């Protein structure tokens, strides 16, 4: 470049920033790809080991059945949701210690509590049990689908709208809006598929159009639902990890015994 000194790189700061962003995103890409490959593997294991009966043992087929709550896919989903909740708690703690960030910290607290509930719900089948209890105590109420959707779906919709509003307002390099939209769309479609599953004759059009047994369509609809739930959580995981990465750029986390300290590197040593 004209005017550049020998052995001098033009715009070094811009170049260094680009390199830093590239290295920052590579681990997130690897985490997302690892989750995606595991999710695809769980779908394929259900297809071949369970549906095509590669395993003679019914116990082994149940373990790989993606529609069961006591299978490998369910275990993966619970662990995945736990990691999302833990990341959100760290974000809340780091935001709460910053001066003037009380309102934003409360927003992260709401999200941390919600995903903590989601973790408990996945592990203990909370929404299914609440739905069953509601149905037993309100037998005269006509339900179009599963009972839990009448009781808890409004809460999930409200939380989804709040999450979109809160995170969209923070939209910058640390909050990828495309990842946020992808996560919400995945979970929204999963809830819609669950609703159709609970509707009487919900698959009638597909049965007539494809000439497939209803059992086949129901199973693979549930398989798609579970895959979308896991994929949505994968997007949430990298979304929140990306934000956490920006928060920790100038912060050192020290753990001594039971005490956790967040120390700004810019602060003078004590």
The whole domain housing 32 covers 20-251
Instruction: Report yes or no on 155 lying in a domain.
Output: yes
Contact indicator for 88, 112 with CB cutoff of 8 Å: yes
* Mean pLDDT calculated for residue range 166-177: 83
Give the per-residue pLDDT at 24: 55
Of 143, 116, 123, 114, which is closest to residue 131 (Cα–Cα)? Answer: 143
pLDDT at 119 over 70: yes
| 78 located within any domain | yes
* Residue tagged 């087929």 (tokens): 61
Q: What is the pTM of this model?
A: 0.83
Dist. CA 181–CA 161, nearest whole Å: 11
The answer to whether 87 and 56 are in contact (CB under 8 A) is: no
Position 191 scores a pLDDT of 92
Residue in 84, 96, 17, 78 with CA at minimum distance from that of residue 42:
78
Residue 182 has pLDDT above 90, yes or no: yes
Q: Say if 269 falls within a structural domain.
A: no
Does the structure show a pLDDT above 90 at 109?
yes
Q: Please tell me the number of Cα atoms within 13 Å of 190 on its side-chain side.
A: 20
Per-residue pLDDT tens digits for 51-103: 999 999 999 999 999 999 889 999 999 999 999 999 999 999 999 988 888 89
pLDDT of residue 256: 60
Is the pLDDT reported for residue 14 higher than 70?
no
Does residue 258 belong to any structural domain of this protein? Answer: no
Residue 173 pLDDT level (bands cut at 50, 70, 90): low
What is the domain count for the chain? 1
Asked whether residue 106 is assigned to any structural domain, the reply reads yes
Mean pLDDT, to the nearest integer, of 182-209? Answer: 90
Q: Is residue 270 part of a domain?
A: no
Is 261 part of any domain? no
Residue at 259 is within a domain: no
Q: What is the pLDDT of residues 134-155, one digit of tens each?
A: 888 887 777 788 888 888 888 9
First-residue to last-residue Cα distance in the chain: 47
- CB–CB of 122/77 below 8 Å? yes
pLDDT tens for residues 207-263? 888 888 999 999 999 999 999 999 999 999 999 999 998 888 755 555 565 655 556
């Amino acid at each position: 470049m004209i005017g550049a000194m020998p052995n001098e790189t033009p715009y070094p700061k811009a170049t260094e920033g680009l390199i830093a962003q590239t290295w920052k995103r590579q681990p997130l890409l690897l985490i997302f790809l690892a989750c995606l490959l595991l999710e695809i593997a769980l779908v394929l294991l259900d297809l071949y080991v369970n549906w095509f009966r590669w395993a003679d043992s019914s116990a082994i087929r149940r373990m790989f059945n993606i529609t069961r709550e006591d299978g490998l896919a369910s275990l993966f989903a619970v662990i995945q949701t736990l990691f999302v909740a833990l990341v959100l708690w760290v974000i809340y703690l780091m935001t709460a210690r910053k001066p003037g960030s009380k309102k934003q910290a409360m927003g992260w607290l709401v999200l941390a509590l919600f995903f903590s509930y989601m973790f408990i719900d996945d592990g203990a089948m909370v929404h299914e049990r609440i739905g069953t209890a509601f149905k037993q105590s309100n037998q005269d109420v006509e339900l179009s689908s599963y009972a839990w959707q009448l009781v808890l779906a409004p809460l999930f919709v409200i939380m989804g709208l709040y999450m979109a509003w809160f995170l969209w307002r923070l939209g910058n390099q640390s909050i990828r809006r495309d990842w946020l939209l992808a996560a919400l769309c995945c979970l929204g479609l999963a809830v819609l598929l669950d609703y159709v599953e609970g509707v009487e004759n919900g698959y009638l059009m597909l049965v007539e159009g494809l000439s497939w047994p209803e059992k086949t369509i129901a199973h693979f609809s549930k398989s798609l639902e579970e895959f979308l739930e896991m994929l949505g959580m994968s997007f949430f995981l990298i979304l929140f990890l990306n934000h956490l990465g920006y928060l920790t750029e100038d912060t050192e986390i020290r753990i001594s015994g039971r005490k956790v300290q967040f120390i700004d590197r810019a602060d003078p040593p004590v």
